[in-house]
Amino acid sequence: MSLAAAAPRTAEGTEREPVPYIAIRGATKRYGAVVALAGVDFAIRPGEVIGVVGHNGAGKSTLMNVLSGAVRRTAGEFALDGVSIGDWSTGEAQARGLRCVFQELSLCANLSAAENTRIVHRPLKGFGWRGRAAKLISAKLDEIFPGHGIDPHLRLARLPIGARQMVEIARAYTETDIPLRCVILDEPTSALGHEATEQLLAHIRRSAAKGIAAILITHRLNEILAVCDRAVVMVDGRTVAERPRAGLTRSALIQLSGHVEGVPQRSERRMDAFAGRPPLVDHAGRTARDLGIRAGPGEIVGFAGLDGHGQRERLRAIFGAMRGGTTRSAFVAGDRGHEGTFALWSIADNLTILSLGALQRGGFLSERSARDLAQVWSERLKVKAPSIDTPIAALSGGNQQKVLFARALASDAEVIFLDDPMRGVDVGTKEEVYRLIRAEAERGRAFVWYTTELEELSNCERIYVFREGRAAVELTGEAIEPSRILEASFGGADE
């Protein structure tokens, strides 16, 4: 049977659906002993939006890399517009209208948005190419993310991760000589704020109406429910379920992925054990209207508000001010590629780098203790890898993020700063990390946690809502709920 004929029938089972743009059958990919894809069938039709979900390391990115030609499959058949094809490179994929938004962003940080756009568009050459490239990317940014404020001539290294993510997305949707057919988006919203996420989802639907298909990989299940026609669930390198959007629920997606749904709960932790102890963090605001930030032993303090309103800067300012002081602190970055992982090191070396002082015995570093520590914490966070000696670059994105968490938790830091750290972490692991954070707080650690995910703030005893560069409103206990937070973010519940 040809791959084109493999296209399933409609719900009534009578009429054949349009020929898939891309179809693969029995795709496998091995990395040494690791089976990243174990015989996957997948097809996407023109104008269709498919959501792909699954645990960290399930094989989602590998499937996308095989589809886009970035990774060569070990075995499997491949067809484009119903015609079988053999090897498939990124160049060919690009020439046939396929684009990718990669999880680890593929832009060149030394170049501007305009120059990065030129890289994927050959017609942008000759006199004035730079101006034309700037116009092309700016127009697409305006279309997808109105009000983005990105200068197309600025070197990307100078932009925050959210802005770089917008450029990567907008670039994927630009067109010159080749008509766009399908865009693969691998966790495109993990560094975007709420508003930009909504803008992107609306754009995906608008594009689909024009026949441009999209494959959306995300751990944010509400996005799948909001935008996709069909959801595909992956577990351990296989597709285990495929469901139409109609009737699909968040709980069903969680169960199909093999996770247990956590019940959102306000922390019932008793803080009495630490009553009367001085705060571990006490950081004055820059002005009278900028609140001071406090965090005592055992406290989980959240930073909220619309993304880009000064939360990251304050988090870093506090961490910077504490360095060299008597209170030990650690920082978990959300932008792991830029400031988190040491790509050439193993899991064990990445995980223990903050603990070297504590692991010394009589001036010597105990290799055995370091390995034990790495083993314990990588098991606690369920890092999916053959061993702790695996290079961190060989891990899936979410598993790399778990190693960064483990690094901070394994250290002897009394205060841990979290900069939107759940980027790319799957639903099941998130629940476990929340539990770990609460357990570590019970032991007296303080957490200062910036998150762009509203529901995560229910883990906090106290939050500061940021607006226009300052900590504008403090909410505690039962007052920490979405409507109050949003009101404070937009300035409705000011001092």
Ligand X SMILES: Nc1ncnc2c1ncn2[C@@H]1O[C@H](COP(=O)(O)OP(=O)(O)OP(=O)(O)O)[C@@H](O)[C@H]1O
Residues at the site binding ligand X, with contacts judged by CB under 6 A: 31, 34, 36, 54, 56-62, 103, 384-385, 394-399, 424, 426
| Comparison of 104 and 282: residue with beta carbon closer to ligand X | 104
Q: Round to whole Å and give the CA distance between 426 and 225.
A: 16
Q: Which is nearer to ligand X, 233 or 415 (CB)?
A: 233
In angstroms, give the least distance from the CB of 203 to ligand X. Answer: 23
User: Minimal distance in Å, beta carbon 103 to ligand X?
Assistant: 6
Smaller CB separation from ligand X, 192 or 359: 192
Q: What is the DSSP letter of 488?
A: H
Identify which of residues 281 and 385 has a Cβ nearer to ligand X in the complex.
385
Closest distance to ligand X from the beta carbon of 299 (Å): 30
Cβ neighbours of residue 487 closer than 8 Å, sequence gap 6 or more: 493
CB of 219 to ligand X, least distance (A): 7
Q: In what order do the strands lie in the sheet with 462-467?
A: 329-332, 415-419, 446-450, 300-304, 462-467, 470-476
Pick between residue 56 and residue 207 the one whose CB is nearest to ligand X. Answer: 56
DSSP states along 33-69: TEEEEEEEEEEE-TT-EEEEEE-TTSSHHHHHHHHTT
Q: Please, which residue, 132 or 423, has the CB nearer to ligand X?
A: 423
Q: Measure CA 378 to chain center.
A: 20
| CB of residue 334 to ligand X, shortest distance in Å | 14
Least Å distance between CB 426 and ligand X? 6
Residue 462: DSSP 8-state: E
Note whether 110 and 155 are within 8 A (CB): yes
Q: 202: how many CB neighbours lie within 10 A of its CB?
A: 13
The least CB distance from residue 100 to ligand X, in Å, is 13
Tokens of 418: 């979290």
Residues paired with 50 in a beta bridge: 215, 230
Min separation Cβ 322 and ligand X, Å: 31
Nearest residue to ligand X, by Cβ distance, number only: 398
Longest dimension (CA), the chain: 77
Query: How many alpha carbons fall within 13 Å on the CB side of residue 455?
Result: 11
Nearest distance in Å: CB 291, ligand X: 36
Total residue length of the chain = 495
**Residue 174 or 401: which CB sits closer to ligand X?**
401
The distance of closest approach from Cβ of residue 95 to ligand X in the complex, given in angstroms and rounded to an integer, is 25
CA-wise closest residue to 432 among 383, 393, 394: 383
- Strands lying side by side in the sheet with 83-85: 34-44, 22-31, 75-80, 83-85
Give whichever of 347 and 354 is closer to ligand X, judged by the CB atom. Answer: 347
* Nearest distance in Å: CB 231, ligand X: 15
3-state class (DSSP) for residue 226: helix
What is the rounded CA–CA span in Å between residue 39 and residue 237?
Answer: 8
**Residue 384 burial (CB count, 10 A):** 19
DSSP 495: -
Q: How far apart are CA 187 and CA 397, in angstroms?
A: 10
CA distance 303 to 315: 9
Nearer to ligand X, 295 or 422 (CB): 422
Q: Please say which residue, 294 or 402, places its beta carbon nearer to ligand X.
A: 402
Give 475's strand partners: 463
Tell me how far, at minimum, the Cβ of 34 lies from ligand X, in Å.
Answer: 5
CA distances from 229 to 164, 226, 392, 491 (A): 28, 9, 35, 37
CA distances from 105 to 111, 143, 172, 186, 238 (A): 14, 21, 11, 9, 25
Of residues 34 and 306, the one with the C-beta less far from ligand X: 34
Q: What is the nearest approach in angstroms of ligand X to the Cβ of residue 459?
A: 22
For residues 219-237, one letter each, b for 16 or more C-beta atoms within 10 angstroms of the residue's C-beta and e for the rest, the string is bbbebbbbbbbbbbbbbbb
Task: Return the number of the residue (259 or 462) whose C-beta is nearest ligand X.
Answer: 259
Q: Which is nearer to ligand X, 71 or 408 (CB)?
A: 71
